[in-house]
Chains A and B, each alone.
Chain A
Amino acid sequence: DSGVTQTPKHLITATGQRVTLRCSPRSGDLSVYWYQQSLDQGLQFLIQYYNGEERAKGNILERFSAQQFPDLHSELNLSSLELGDSALYFCASSVAPGNTIYFGEGSWLTVV
């Protein structure tokens, strides 16, 4: 157990809908990362936050957004969902940028 908690573990939703994935980082970690894992794209970095502020953006679609709250938990919002958004979404955290990154077990999203 890495200490990074993600909910929900599984989610099935219809095209066009909006979902929110939630992440609690390891105790003491200030930096949160979101990744998408799919068969065709592999592991893709989406976005990083540090202590509530956005630090870096990767291949995140405009339909997706994220935030990190004062208690350091983070949410990834996915809207106008398409079939191709079906993937495993990972949250990860580290004490600070540059430290080892630890991953949660992911949220499986299926768009039908």
Chain B
Amino acid sequence: AQSVAQPEDQVNVAEGNPLTVKCTYSVSGNPYLFWYVQYPNRGLQFLLKYITGDNLVKGSYGFEAEFNKSQTSFHLKKPSALVSDSALYFCAVRDMSLGQAGTALIFGKGTTLSVSS
């Protein structure tokens, strides 16, 4: 079965420090991977995606993610965290079981990022 795992419910970092939010996946074939962020009482905002190509993907708000095929991971990173980065982060993978016609995403449980000043 295809799945996405976010092993940490919460990540705490100090402002100015680098941050990493972890994600591992299990899919058949080549994965299409995504990161979204959800601020309180808001919808999900798209951050970045990996389809193919360079393993380091750059996205919105200074975030980037590194695709590692051998470790089946797609960790989200940022060199210097801001207090305003505090939010709920979701990793997602395209559900390949739906075939070409269906392209919905399977989401992880989410990781709460808390950045302290």
**Given A43-B90, A45-B106, A103-B36: A2 in contact with B100 (beta carbons within 8 A):** no
Q: Does A104 have its Cβ within 8 Å of any Cβ on chain B?
A: yes
Asked if B45 and A103 sit within 8 Å, CB to CB, the answer is: yes
Asked if A105 and B43 sit within 8 Å, CB to CB, the answer is: yes
**Interface range, B side:** 20 to 34
Q: Does A74 have its Cβ within 8 Å of any Cβ on chain B?
A: no
Q: Does A24 have its Cβ within 8 Å of any Cβ on chain B?
A: no
Q: Which of A43, A48, A50, A99 has the most CB of B within 10 A?
A: A43
C-alpha spacing A100/B32, complex, angstroms: 10
C-alpha spacing A33/B98, complex, angstroms: 13
C-alpha spacing A4/B43, complex, angstroms: 10
Asked if A58 and B104 sit within 8 Å, CB to CB, the answer is: yes
Q: List A contacts of B105 (CB < 8 A).
A: 45, 101
Of residues 92 through 112 on chain A, the ones whose CB sits less than 8 Å from some CB of chain B are 92, 94, 97-106
Asked if B95 and A45 sit within 8 Å, CB to CB, the answer is: yes
**Interface range, A side:** 20 to 34
Interface of A is mostly: strand
Q: List B contacts of A94 (CB < 8 A).
A: 103
Q: Does A55 have its Cβ within 8 Å of any Cβ on chain B?
A: yes
**Given A42-B110, A43-B90, A45-B95: A104 in contact with B103 (beta carbons within 8 A):** no
Asked if B107 and A97 sit within 8 Å, CB to CB, the answer is: no
Closest A residue to B102 by beta carbon equals: A56
Q: Which 6 interchain pairs have the tightest Cβ spacing?
A: A56-B102, A97-B103, A105-B43, A43-B107, A103-B44, A45-B104
> Can you list 19 residue pairs at the A/B interface with Cβ under 8 Å?
A2-B46, A42-B108, A42-B110, A43-B110, A48-B98, A48-B102, A50-B101, A55-B98, A55-B101, A55-B103, A56-B95, A56-B102, A56-B103, A90-B43, A97-B101, A97-B102, A100-B34, A100-B49, A103-B46
